[in-house]
Amino acid sequence: EPEVTQTPSHQVTQMGQEVILRCVPISNHLYFYWYRQILGQKVEFLVSFYNNEISEKSEIFDDQFSVERPDGSNFTLKIRSTKLEDSAMYFCASSEDLTGGVEQFFGPGTRLTVL
Amino acid sequence: GNSVTQMEGPVTLSEEAFLTINCTYTATGYPSLFWYVQYPGEGLQLLLKATKADDKGSNKGFEATYRKETTSFHLEKGSVQVSDSAVYFCALIGGTGNTPLVFGKGTRLSVIA
């Protein structure tokens, strides 16, 4: 069964460093998302991506964040200069369609720890 | 804006007990409603969904009914198993149909033998 994969599973970085979180969505999906969950808090939407551009982003997704689909398979989230409060679990998801009711398939997450 | 409120955990039950995890929502229009489950060390998996009022989603013995009058989507299972131990997330996609998932905080369920 096709699945979304994410690497690494755990990333530890120093404050101020750049990190890139990687995701491989399901191959025939067209819509890609990043969500994050700070420990003990809600899963929050960051950004959605379609046709090589951002289709929607939340207030969390400020200028420190960027997304890219550098090739036909990877979908990356870059945090330019990490802050302590960026420590969270980051989930990638993909779906065939943006229509409400269509399942978003999630990866296992990358736990980011900023020291 | 859209929001989801679900009961705080953790919930600890004995095997074969009845499970209810409450979920209420606030949304404009007619959202689609979901329950996702996260087993230890894994990603979020869709457990069930309902896309219109009075629909009942069901999967693996779990059920939830979309109640527009009470803006609720409570998750139930008649007899839980140890393998049901996981974190359960209630979520919605807003009425416009092309907005991101909005999640509740999640409820951790532990089932003991």
Q: What is the pLDDT of residues A84-112, one digit of tens each?
A: 999 999 999 998 876 656 788 999 999 99
Q: Does B61 touch chain A (CB under 8 A)?
A: no
**What is the pLDDT, as a whole number, of residue B15?**
97
Identity of the amino acid at A35: Y
The helix/strand/coil state of A105 is strand
14-33 in B: which are within 8 Å (CB) of A?
31-32
Q: What is the pLDDT of residues A8-30, one digit of tens each?
A: 999 999 999 999 999 999 998 98
User: What is the pLDDT averaged over residues B48-68?
Assistant: 95
d(CA B3, CA B24): 9
Rounded to a whole number of angstroms, the distance from the CA of B35 to the nearest CA of chain A is 11
Query: What's the pLDDT at A1?
Result: 78
Residues in chain B closer than 8 A to A104 (CB atoms): 46, 101
Q: Which of B4, B44, B48, B107 to mutate to test the interface with A (most CBs of A within 10 A)?
A: B44
Instruction: Compute the distance between CA of residue B96 and CA of residue B113 in angstroms, rounded to an integer.
Output: 44
Q: Do A42 and B103 touch (CB under 8 A)?
A: yes
Q: Is the pLDDT of residue A72 over 90?
A: no
Q: Which amino acid is at B24?
A: T
Mean pLDDT, chain A, rounded, equals 92
Q: How confident is the model at residue A39 (pLDDT cuts 50, 70, 90)?
A: confident
Query: Is the CB of residue B6 less than 8 Å away from at least one CB of chain A?
Result: no
